[in-house]
Amino acid sequence: MIEPRWIDPASSDWPVRLRHLEAPPQGFWQLGTIGAASPSVAIVGSRRATFAGVEIARSIAGELGSAGIQVVSGMALGIDAAAHAGALDAGGSTVAVLGCGIDICYPTRHAGLRVRILASGCVISEEPAGTPPFKYNFPKRNRIIAALAHAVVVVEATERSGALSTARWAADLGREVLAVPGSIRARQSSGTNLLIRDGVRPFIGIADLLEAVPELRSAVPESAFDALPAGPRGGVERFSPPLREILARMGTQPIHPDQVGVALGLSPALVASRLGALELAGAVMSLPGGLVARTV
């Protein structure tokens, strides 16, 4: 059984990037290993994420993990969990920052995810052992998520989402913040769309992140990016067969996602997930009336 270690600013394992905080933690409990100083990106968002949002978070984290970029998040439901899982599925490393004691698994349904995180990354908390997941602990822990990362990507967030506090911390620390745009009719994207309106760079593809934060590209061997998808202007060949199947069925005219699902024998949830990935890549756009259309 792994025993938690207390890491303080005098320790050789203290993350240098936490020194950027005006009020850094006095120390934190750590299970697992953060690893050598490496480029890292925080992926955060709504606990009540859409299927498309979960797929997008998992996809972004997978691309980062496969390139050797560590993913930081908060192990919450929705976007956070998808980010951790995406990084792990790609063989990458991930760090979970908790808003409760290091000995408490919250939410309890993430016990299996926690075990996976500890196998190739770590879980940390500044709260004393036994501390319940009090609501006021989470805005505080968000400053650590922001400080540990070179950049923060907000995938889905309402106007009152805690993910926006992570974005504010990141901006105050001089970290780059990017937001995944969404439909103006989707409540889960209201916060991210406001971030973009207020000047945050939109995240359309991994190239946006690499362009915004040169440290990420310079810290990773060029060969690590060979497998990353092309930009949104590339051809449909860059997509996996299931995504190309969706595009082929959509044709050249706007169509309702339900029609796509019926034609291909796919569930609404699966269609929404694949359309979300295609919209992130710039291959599909949402239209009034719930319709979608190809852009490639």
CB neighbour list of residue 18: distance below 8 Å, 6 or more residues apart: 9, 24, 25, 144, 147, 148
pLDDT in tens, 41-86: 999 999 999 888 888 899 899 989 988 899 999 999 999 999 999 9
Q: Say what the pLDDT of residue 186 is.
A: 85
Continuous segment of H or E residues that includes residue 190: helix 190-197
Q: Measuring CA to CA, which residue among 125, 156, 39, 52 is closest to residue 87? A: 39
In degrees to the nearest 10, what's the CA dihedral of 128, 130, 133, 136?
-40
Identify whether the C-beta of residue 62 lies closer than 8 Å to the C-beta of residue 184. no
State the burial class of residue 117 (Cβ atoms within 10 Å of its Cβ: 0-12, 13-18, 19+).
buried
Q: What average pLDDT does the structure give for the chain? A: 88
Q: Residue 258 has which token pair?
A: 């339900």
When pLDDT is averaged across residues 118-128 and rounded to a whole number, the result is 95
d(Cα 88, Cα 61) in Å, to the nearest integer? 9
Is 2 a residue whose pLDDT tops 80?
A: no
Note the pLDDT of residue 192: 95
The CA distance from 99 to 131, in Å, is: 9
What are 95's two structure tokens? 């760090």
Categorize the per-residue pLDDT at 235 as very low, low, confident or very high, splitting at 50, 70 and 90. low
Residue with the two structure tokens 């930009």:
231
Secondary element (H or E) of residue 73: strand 70-73
Q: Is 204:280 a contact under the CB 8 Å cutoff?
A: yes
Model confidence pTM above 0.75: yes
202-227: pLDDT as tens digits: 998 888 898 899 888 776 666 555 54
Residue 285: strand pairing partners: 293
Structure tokens given for 130: 């036994």
Q: Residue 92: what pLDDT?
A: 92
Q: List all residues 6 or more positions away from 57 whose beta carbon is below 8 Å from its beta carbon.
A: 43, 45, 49, 79, 82, 83, 86, 155, 156
Q: Is residue 1 predicted with pLDDT exceeding 80? A: no
* pLDDT digit string, tens, across residues 177-190: 999 998 888 888 99
Structure tokens at 196: 């973009």
- Please work out, in degrees rounded to the nearest 5, the angle formed at the alpha carbon of residue 77 by the alpha carbons of 13 and 80: 45
* pLDDT confidence band for 241 (50 / 70 / 90): confident
Nearest to 247 by CA among 221, 289, 285, 215: 285
Task: Reply yes or no on whether the pLDDT at 34 is more than 60.
Answer: yes
Band (230; pLDDT cuts 50, 70, 90):
very low
| Residue percentage of the chain with pLDDT more than 90 | 57
Q: Check residue 96 and give its pLDDT.
A: 98
Res. 233: pLDDT tops 50: no
Domains of the chain with CATH codes: 5-225 (3.40.50.450), 236-294 (1.10.10.10)
Orientation of helix 190-197 relative to helix 163-172, angle to 10°: 20
